[in-house]
């Protein structure tokens, strides 16, 4: 079987991503019905972290255990990726001990290099360019709520970060409309937009770029935001807060989408900045369902990559 990695949604065909969503749905039901079958019995996943983590660490660790396997946590103090030891050497060493590697890194090039030298599947748990596991959890959440993906409109307001990039590709893959409300200087990279537009043309989706947050969320089924200050951007905090304040997901902005719309945030949330308490804890919020669905979506990814490897 050809070795496959999970680094970005743009690298996976839509039918295989659909399979992961349906598998996640099945594994979630199976877990609630008494527990998952030990599909990954005796399999070990290495968890490599350059950044602090709550959801990624716990969901991958718990997911492996629920599937009959186990996980080993390796924080920045254990391995300095590319510092204490080269990424290529780390990838080859871990390949000799484990059956898969999940890496949460600052630089996307690091996870790409790890995949290049690993002889086991590598999963991108987050990089500066993409957050594909979160996007899969989000697609699962939207599918559970609406019973479909095709034809829905998702609006994203705020910073054009790794989350926005992954969601633009996810929406385009599944025939959704994706409306991006961002100020000048915070827009997605051109190559991401070009790829999303290309995929949207194939799926009858639609990518719309606007600067006005109200125009972005009008008639949206899903309104999504994320932190204004990603890890590594702390020195820009004051400027980012000022520039992005009009893009705050509050009750007034959510009302432009309508009562049926769901509010999403991948967490951690900086309440009072990109999202208000009233929205985060309100009746339209699904942010904690998203967080739970990280577990189920990632288990499906693990099974897809590791069950037969």
Show the domains of the chain with their CATH numbers: 9-131+294-306 (3.40.50.1370), 134-290 (3.40.50.1370)
266 is known as an active-site residue: yes
Rounded to 10 degrees, the C-alpha dihedral 129/197/12/117 comes to: -40
pLDDT in tens, the chain (309 residues): 567 999 999 999 999 999 999 999 999 999 999 999 999 999 999 999 988 889 999 999 999 999 999 999 998 877 767 677 899 999 999 999 999 999 999 999 999 999 999 999 999 999 999 999 999 999 999 999 999 999 999 999 999 999 999 999 999 999 999 999 999 999 999 999 999 999 999 999 999 999 999 999 999 999 999 999 887 778 889 999 999 999 999 999 999 998 999 999 999 999 999 999 999 999 999 999 999 999 999 999 999 999 987
Q: Residue 276, SS3? A: coil
| Residues paired with 177 in a beta bridge | 153, 206
Given the residues 159, 226, 273, 296, the one annotated as active site: 226
Task: Note the pLDDT of residue 51.
Answer: 84
| 165 neighbors 143 (Cβ within 8 angstroms) | no
Q: Which of 134, 248, 290, 304 is catalytic?
A: 134
Rg of the chain over all Cα atoms, to the nearest angstrom: 19
134 classed as catalytic = yes
Q: Which of 99, 131, 240, 265 is catalytic?
A: 131
Active-site residue, 104 included = yes
Average pLDDT along the chain: 95
Pairing state between β 100-104 and 153-157:
unpaired
Sheet holding 206-210, edge to edge: 206-210, 177-181, 153-157, 222-225, 262-265
Q: What is the pTM (predicted TM-score) of this model?
A: 0.96
> Pick the catalytic residue: 50, 66, 221, 266?
266
| 278, containing H or E segment | helix 277-280
Rounded distance, CA 260 to CA 237, Å? 33
Is position 240 annotated as part of the catalytic site? no
298 annotated active-site: no
What's the pLDDT tens digit per position in 4-60? 999 999 999 999 999 999 999 999 999 999 999 999 999 999 999 988 889 999 999
Element (H, E) at 30: helix 14-32
Q: Which of 294, 296, 298, 304 is catalytic?
A: 294
Whether 148 sits among the annotated catalytic residues: the reply is no
Output the pLDDT for position 242.
96
State which H helix or E strand residue 291 sits in: helix 287-306
């Amino acid at each position: 079987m050809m070795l496959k990695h999970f680094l970005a949604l743009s690298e996976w065909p839509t039918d295989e991503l659909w399979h992961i969503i349906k598998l996640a749905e099945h594994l979630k039901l199976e877990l609630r019905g008494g527990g998952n079958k030990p599909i990954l019995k005796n399999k070990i996943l290495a968890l490599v972290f350059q950044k602090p983590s709550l959801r990624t660490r716990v969901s991958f660790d718990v997911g492996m255990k629920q599937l009959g396997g186990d996980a080993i946590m390796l924080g920045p103090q254990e391995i300095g990726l590319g510092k204490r030891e080269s990424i290529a050497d780390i990838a080859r060493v871990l390949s000799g001990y484990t059956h898969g590697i999940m890496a949460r890194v600052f630089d996307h090039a690091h996870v790409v290099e790890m995949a290049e030298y690993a002889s086991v599947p590598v999963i991108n748990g987050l990089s500066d360019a993409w957050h594909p596991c979160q996007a899969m959890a989000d697609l699962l959440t939207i599918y559970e709520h609406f019973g479909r993906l095709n034809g829905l409109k998702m609006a994203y307001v705020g910073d054009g970060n790794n989350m926005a990039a992954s969601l633009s590709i996810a929406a385009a893959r599944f025939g959704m409309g994706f409306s991006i409300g961002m100020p000048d200087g915070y827009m997605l990279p051109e190559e991401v937009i070009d790829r999303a537009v290309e995929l949207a043309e194939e799926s009858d989706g639609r990518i719309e770029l606007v600067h006005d947050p109200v125009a972005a969320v009008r008639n949206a089924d899903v309104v999504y935001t994320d932190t204004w200050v990603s890890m590594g951007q702390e020195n820009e905090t004051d400027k980012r807060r000022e520039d992005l304040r009009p893009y705050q997901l509050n009750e007034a902005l959510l009302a432009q989408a309508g009562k049926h719309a769901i509010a999403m945030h991948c967490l951690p949330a900086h309440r009072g900045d990109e999202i208000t308490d009233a929205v985060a804890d309100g009746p339209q919020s699904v942010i904690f369902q998203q967080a739970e669905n990280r577990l189920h979506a990632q288990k499906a990814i693990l099974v897809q990559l590791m069950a037969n490897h």
